[in-house]
């Protein structure tokens, strides 16, 4: 699967999820309730994104998306 196979909004949502998760995992995070709610919202957006209906192996594609955003430092959405 190529990097360009993922829609931009899906990559940005995954990057935002990563950033939110990292902020929540940091020592003494501020405003944990807001971070948890944001993480939940982003999780729902990731899980139900229409892109997953067109992929033959969804678990493998989800894993690749997570790896892509971690290793390539995708632009993080705020």
- Express each pLDDT in 23-72 by its tens digit: 999 999 999 999 999 999 999 999 999 999 999 999 999 999 999 999 88
Tell me the chain's radius of gyration from C-alpha atoms: 13
Whole-prediction pTM: 0.84
pLDDT for 4: 56
Cβ neighbours around 20 below 10 Å, total: 23
- 3-class state of residue 52 by DSSP: helix
Q: What pLDDT does 5 receive?
A: 86
């Amino acid at each position: 699967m190529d990097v360009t196979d993922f829609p931009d909004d899906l990559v940005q949502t995954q990057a935002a999820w990563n950033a939110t998760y990292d902020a929540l995992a940091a020592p003494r995070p501020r405003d944990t309730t807001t971070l948890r709610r944001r993480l939940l919202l982003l999780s729902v957006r990731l899980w139900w994104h229409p892109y997953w209906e067109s992929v033959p192996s969804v678990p493998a594609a989800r894993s690749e998306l997570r790896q892509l955003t971690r290793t390539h430092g995708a632009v993080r959405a705020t």
